[in-house]
Structure 1
Amino acid sequence: MDLILTVLIITLIVIIIQLVFKSIKRPDNYPPGPPFLPWIGNTMQLRTEARRVGGQHIVFENWAKQYKSNVIGLKLAGEYVIVVNSYPLVKQIHLNEVYEGRPDTFFLRLRTMGTRKGITCTDGALWYEHRNFTMKQMRQIGYGRTPMEAHIIEEADDLIRYIDQLDECHIYPGSFLATSVINVLWFLTTGQLLKRNEERLNTLLSLLGRRSKAFDICGGVLTQFPWLRHIAPDKTGYNLILELNRELNNFIMESINEHKLIFEKSNGTEESDLIYAYLKEMQSGEKDENGSSNETFDVSQLTMTILDFFIAGSQTTSNTLDLVLMMLALRPDIEEKLFKEVHENLNEKEFPLLSVRTRFPYANAVLMEVQRYFHILPITGPRRALWETKLDGFTVPKNTTVLISLRSVLMDEAHWKDPQTFRPERFLDEDGGIINDEYFIPFGQGRRRCPGDLLARSCLFSFLVKIVQNFKIESDEQSKLCTTLVPGIMLSPKPYTIMFRRRK
């Protein structure tokens, strides 16, 4: 009996040693990086370092210097992760089909209400079919054309009226900018307008803001250790995501159900927005010329697609405009130069559409420099290697998660020379025209490029020019202007206050 017990104990010890060795062993020719700890890999080390230095993006850059490599190999719990730095490698990731996949993690499924649908977090045939269908329908209903411009004009005028009503009091602009951006996209998607003071909308925007700060680009501990949601649902952010999902689902489904009623009454002739286009496709049982049917078109896929647009449009564009206004308050010299350009090139009855942006090179340069300098999405992705491949001489195993360090491109010292200096003139040539710099890629590249980039650029340009045309931005000692951003899924400004003084 003692012998059997001894054999069992020795066998158990051997198995444990083998499991430990397997969990800390790096794949052959895997990129360099910090050693893996048994079972947890680099998870805790990354979280600890991120808290110490102010974000994961800084940790990744420090490790790139420490290990003298622009490709860093990590392991987060049981998931292999590589981080890519430098423009040449980032470009390879953006343009190579092997990196077009998305990881299938607990956090990404939780982000899409437990599904693997929509167009942001999917890949393969589903992603390709629905991305193409969505963008085709958006163009048909006016995306990038006159109908979209008309909504931007309407929202810009509403924004100016709202600022006027503030009566020159100090306010945080982030509290009202997102509504203006969302309304343009929401109208194209649903054919409806949202009221600025709508309680549900404000609740959603608040929840999205909390979500952005509660998680990181890797999804926090919920991605590596999803079982922790049962032990600490609040601390892990699990309850926050569930609350946000409920609110978003109810918000979106309310619009979808209204469309269904109208669609049924009109016998499917309504096609004025994205929801009607999806409903019509769902109703059709015909196959296209390639033999593809509409089996993937259902209410949950429609809901997730709208969700993707809502999440993307509600924060990145409004946060960027938020930071533009903060920089104008910090740099009166830039604001004055910008106003001079607007005053000389725009009459009071004309609206600054993106189509006339060539008349406003300095305004464009300011927007570009804000996007470069603050890089609110310092780490983009995540991507998934669809098959084993090579990158910079290293082996990338199949299904490895790939994180793209956009910050390493937008703050590359060798390219930009003085990246830590806020200098819009870097985007202007000797004749005052815009320089289209290859390293300026805030919206990505390739087939995974942000589908809403045109809307974002249009809103940023039109809203900024209209604000500068009508108001002078001022701050005081209590404004708490700070260029150090709060880390999270995206970087966001710390709350500050400015005053919009009406120009005479």
Structure 2
Amino acid sequence: MVLVILLTLLALVFVGYLLQEFRRPANYPPGPRWLPFIGNTPMIRKLARVCGGQHLAFEALSAEYNSPVIGLKLGREYVVVAMQYPAVREVHSKEVFDGRPNNFFIRLRTMGTRLGVTCTDGPFWAEHRNFITRHLRQAGYGRRPMQLQIQNELNELIDIINDLNEEPAWPGSILPTSVINVLWTFTTGTRIPRNDERLARLLQLLQNRSKAFDMSGGILCQLPWLRHIAPEGTGYNLLKRFNAELNEFFMITINKHHQSYSEDKCDDDLIYAYIKEMKERKNDESSTFTDLQLTMIILDIFIAGSQTTSITIDLAFMMMVLRPEIQERIHKEIDANMQQDEMPQQNDRTALPYIEAFLLEVQRFFHIVPVSGPRRALSDCTLGGYRIPKNTTILMSLRTVHMDSNHWGDPEIFRPERFLDADNKIINTERLTPFGLGRRRCLGESLARACMFTFFVGILQKFTLIKPTNCNADPSIKLLPGITLSPKPYKIVFRLR
């Protein structure tokens, strides 16, 4: 009899648990029903394969449920996706959405911790973000020293292209090192040699990482127990290798800084400044300034600075081949406003408005980060009139903002002129949000914009970009899915003008 009662109680508890798993929170955003334990994960993965990417799967659900806010459950985690400008702006502007998720993927990204800047929140995040911003500015970030660093990398890039002797090459194979070395110099005080084999391995791992996951963390985040069954298939081994190589790479640099530290070097780069802060707080048991946190900050800088900017420049070069009439207009604008041996700089942007409009259109049209985030609701709140429970993960569909026909009119057409008025002045940028908005706006925005403009103008000043003579197919504007979208490898010829 006792056994029957116990079994009955266990059955009731299990049924109650299943009902709780099926339950949809009150006034939660519309979306598909989910299953216990796995939620909508299998359905979203299948829909993403059919549609061509997770971002397109979210858009399909938005259309199906006729809602700019979609409510899901991925694994055990509530996930809400904000679509279109009003909902995306609401997430960007409300402080309640400034949190970051505390899930398996986020912790694995930062080597099992919850450190760094990108994936943290609250007072910890604010303290370290303010420190990084202050000391990068002291080292010249956003000012003349940064421009000089970019020009130095541009000179090396031009030499590399000259050495190609008009042999076809994929820009994506030479750009990332140039971009990352600008910010790396501010962080560490030194460049990474282009022939450094460790850097080549890290960039390849980073590229693989980007394709293996999506902004929600992929199956490794939603069903982390699968790493024990399929460590390769889930990307778990990939992230472990990436973390191990990064840690070794960074610690060599950090240890060298510790050995050569002196107070008069503290304005030279971010690591010396951070070491100084560590020394000043060494007697403070509550201090969060540690070697491990420094490693995570460098990891954030490395990840943020090594892909999105170089991909954007890569796509700008690709459009020169696909739209030769645009390239001709760009060459004319450069020739009319710059000397052949004059190095481009940020101040030239006002004199080259069509190029500025072209780069804005590249960012809008390709939206290489189609879904941004993830954010975490710091308390129960609302979004678009729906109730969002505390700790819900929030994703933002930037593609729906950049491809909104009600605002842009013809978003499927690549047209730089949409950003120019009758007087050739830049307009219509308020809904272009590749760097985000609000308090969590991208720290590297100034660097990214300067790199894109300087590298692009500097290369177009010297070269004409053409399709190889033995290539019949045009580069594809359909990008490969992942955390960031990227072009399929293609080749072009840099012909000296």
| TM-score, with structure 2 as normaliser | 0.97
Asked if 1:381 corresponds to 2:359, the answer is no
Partner Cα distance (2:91, 2:147) in 1? 33
Partner Cα distance (1:366, 1:21) in 2? 53
CA 294–145 in structure 1, closer or farther in 2 if over 3 Å, else same: farther
Deviations 1:99-136 (A, max 9, x none): 00000011011111111111000000110000000000
The corresponding residue for 1:434 is 426
1:24 touches 1:39 (CA, 8 Å); kept in 2?
A: no
Aligned length: 495
Partner Cα distance (1:15, 1:328) in 2? 64
CA 192–269 in structure 1, closer or farther in 2 if over 3 Å, else same: closer
SS class of match (2:315): helix
Partner Cα distance (1:294, 1:173) in 2? 47
Partner Cα distance (2:286, 2:426) in 1? 44
The corresponding residue for 2:272 is 276
Letter in 1 for 2:276: K
Partner Cα distance (1:65, 1:211) in 2? 30
The corresponding residue for 2:78 is 80
SS class of match (1:216): coil
Partner Cα distance (2:113, 2:294) in 1? 12
Q: Quote how far apart the aligned CAs of 1:387 are.
A: 0.5
Deviations 1:420-462 (A, max 9, x none): 1111111111122111421111111011000100000000000
Q: Quote how far apart the aligned CAs of 1:400 are.
A: 0.6
2:138 touches 2:267 (CA, 8 Å); kept in 1?
A: no
The percentage of counterpart residues that share the same residue type is 54
Letter in 1 for 2:485: L
Q: Quote how far apart the aligned CAs of 1:300 are.
A: 0.7
Deviations 1:361-385 (A, max 9, x none): 1111111111000000000000000
The corresponding residue for 1:485 is 479
Which among 141, 144, 156 is matched to residue 143 of structure 1?
Answer: 141
Partner Cα distance (1:183, 1:419) in 2? 34
Which among 265, 272, 290 is matched to residue 298 of structure 1?
Answer: 290
Partner Cα distance (1:255, 1:269) in 2? 15
Which among 485, 490, 495 is matched to residue 489 of structure 2?
Answer: 495
CA 385–123 in structure 1, closer or farther in 2 if over 3 Å, else same: same
The corresponding residue for 1:465 is 457
Equivalent positions of 1:298-447 (< 5 A) are 298-447=290-439
SS class of match (2:307): helix
Partner Cα distance (1:197, 1:148) in 2? 23
Partner Cα distance (1:463, 1:189) in 2? 21
Q: Quote how far apart the aligned CAs of 1:228 are.
A: 1.2
Gaps in structure 2 of 5+ consecutive residues: none
Letter in 2 for 1:143: Y
| TM-score, with structure 1 as normaliser | 0.96
Letter in 2 for 1:487: P
1:106 touches 1:226 (CA, 8 Å); kept in 2?
A: yes
Deviations 1:275-301 (A, max 9, x none): 0000000000389xxxx9870001011
Partner Cα distance (1:354, 1:417) in 2? 30
Deviations 1:150-175 (A, max 9, x none): 10110011110110001101111100
SS class of match (2:224): coil
SS class of match (1:227): helix
Equivalent positions of 1:202-217 (< 5 A) are 202-217=200-215
2:418 touches 2:428 (CA, 8 Å); kept in 1?
A: no
Gaps in structure 1 of 5+ consecutive residues: none
Partner Cα distance (1:83, 1:286) in 2? 43
The corresponding residue for 1:256 is 254
SS class of match (1:142): coil
Q: Quote how far apart the aligned CAs of 1:9 are.
A: 4.1
Q: Quote how far apart the aligned CAs of 1:91 are.
A: 1.1
Partner Cα distance (1:50, 1:94) in 2? 25
